[in-house]
Amino acid sequence: MTRRRRIYEGKAKVLFEGPEPGTLVQYFKDDATAFNGEKKSTITGKGVLNNRISEHLMNRLTEIGIQNHFIRRLNMREQLIKEVEIIPVEVIVRNIAAGSICSRLGITEGTSLPRTIIEYCFKSDELNDPIVSEEHITAFGWASPEELDEIMAMSLRVNDFLCGLFIGIGIKLIDFKLEFGRFFDGEEIQVILADEISPDNCRLWDSETNEKLDKDRFRRDLGGVEDAYQEVARRLGILPESGPGDLKGTTAIQ
Ligand code: TMP
């Protein structure tokens, strides 16, 4: 193991100092948590799959001009990313009701929403990521009104693009969570997409059967968590038909 400076450790990822200034290495763990860390386990191979899935989706978003932190994948569990100052707001984009919106507003899971709904949560483990409004975000200075407009516009573009991408492989994009950061590029400050996009932070249902292919399998003890993540990777065309190989990380997935 090389000795690298650990910058930050979250529930599912670790950030290390990168090889050049302005870069970081994002390491994907197999650890899974839910309900703000109350429920914990490991899902063998999850880190390897999320590294690949997030790489794939960030690259597709780069192709359509959505600026994001992804630079390149380094190995099975690590990717090189641009260092950003994370905006402490989780952006949740919902197309179909599931999860917390159902209990909060008394909506049956699976109900199509009248239109795409964006919600914001303040990133704070101590406070359990409370839902907040645009007013809180701008009044407390977590993001400026201009930054928030940009975040909203980018989130809707990401949603449109990902809905189409997933529909093409027989998956409905129910909802997902995004995070954004400030990238300091010389004189300029740019808001770019950060974090990851994977079955850990998306709800993905099979279009035909509505089978859940995401972290709800873990949150709700439905079993088959690894299989679901692998199925998403397989449909995205980033796993060989023959199987995933060694997801613990010793052999390469091509
Ligand atoms: P929710 O229904 O629990 O509010 O979750 C909405 C979406 O956001 C769902 O796809 C899961 C994702 N999410 C995260 O990625 N991290 C979180 O901490 C939470 C609460 C949700």
Instruction: Indicate whether 202 and 89 sit together in one domain.
Output: yes
Both 113 and 195 in a single domain?
yes
- Distance (Å) from CA 80 to ligand 1 centroid: 25
> Is position 192 within any domain?
yes
What pLDDT score was predicted for residue 254? 32
Using the atom order of ligand 1, give the atom closest to the CA of residue 214: 10
CA 202 to centroid of ligand 1, rounded, Å: 7
Domain assignment present for 155:
yes
Residues 62 and 110 reside in one and the same domain: no
92 pocket-lining for ligand 1 (C-beta < 6 Å)? yes
In a domain, 154, yes or no: yes
Instruction: Note whether residue 107 is domain-resident.
Output: yes
Same domain assignment for residues 76 and 90 = no
Atom of ligand 1 at shortest distance to CA of 99? 2
Q: Is 129 in the pocket of ligand 1 (CB under 6 A)?
A: yes
Least Cα distance to 200 among 27, 53, 7, 39 occurs for 53
Q: 56: Cβ below 6 Å to ligand 1?
A: no
Tokens linked to 139: 């009044």
- pLDDT confidence of residue 5: 96
Q: Are residues 66 and 96 in the same domain?
A: no
Indicate the burial class of 148 (C-beta count within 10 angstroms; 0-12, 13-18, 19 or more).
Answer: buried
Is the CB of 212 inside a 6 Å radius of any atom of ligand 1?
no
Beta bridge partners of 64: none
- Check if 177 has its Cβ closer than 6 Å to any atom of ligand 1: yes
CB distance 196 to ligand 1 below 6 Å: no
| Phi, psi torsion values for 194, nearest 5 degrees | -130, -160
Q: Whose CA is nearest to atom 15 of ligand 1?
A: 201
Q: Which residue's CA lies nearest to atom 11 of ligand 1?
A: 201
Alpha carbons 127 and 58: distance in angstroms, whole number: 30
Same domain, 75 and 165: no
Domain membership flag for residue 252? no
- 182 and 137 within one domain: yes
Q: Are 91 and 177 in contact (CB under 8 A)?
A: yes
Q: Which of 13, 175, 205 for mutating ligand 1's site (highest number of atoms within 8 Å of CB)?
A: 175
16 shares its domain with 123: no
Nearest atom within ligand 1 for CA of residue 102: 2
| Same domain as 56, residue 141 | no
Alpha helices per DSSP H over the chain: 46-63, 100-105, 134-139, 145-167, 216-219, 225-235
Q: Are residues 20 and 90 in the same domain?
A: no
Give the structural domain span for 232. Answer: 6-84+224-247
pLDDT value of residue 249:
54
Say yes or no: CB of residue 216 within 6 Å of ligand 1: no
Return the SS3 of 250.
Answer: coil
- The answer as to whether 190 is a domain residue is yes
Q: What is the dihedral of CA 99, 103, 105, 108, to 10 degrees?
A: 70
CATH of the domain at 151: 3.30.470.20
* 217 in a structural domain: no
Structure tokens that stand for 128 in this block: 């359990």
What pLDDT is recorded for position 239? 85
Comparing C-alpha atoms, which of 79, 18, 105, 53 is closest to residue 244? 53
C-alpha 6 – ligand 1 centre gap (Å):
26
Pair (62, 111) in one structural domain: no
Q: What is the pLDDT along the chain (254 residues), one digit of tens a residue?
A: 567 899 999 999 999 999 999 999 999 999 999 999 999 999 999 999 999 999 999 999 999 999 999 999 999 999 999 999 999 999 999 999 999 999 999 999 999 999 999 999 999 999 999 999 999 999 999 999 999 999 999 999 999 999 999 999 999 999 999 999 999 999 999 999 999 999 999 999 999 999 999 999 999 999 999 999 999 999 999 985 555 555 665 333 33
Q: Can you tell me whether residue 153 is helix, strand or coil?
A: helix
Closest residue by Cα to residue 128 from 215, 9, 36: 36
Residue 93 sits in the same domain as residue 141: yes
Tally of domains within the chain: 2
253 part of a folded domain? no
Q: Find the CATH number of the domain harbouring 80.
A: 3.30.200.20
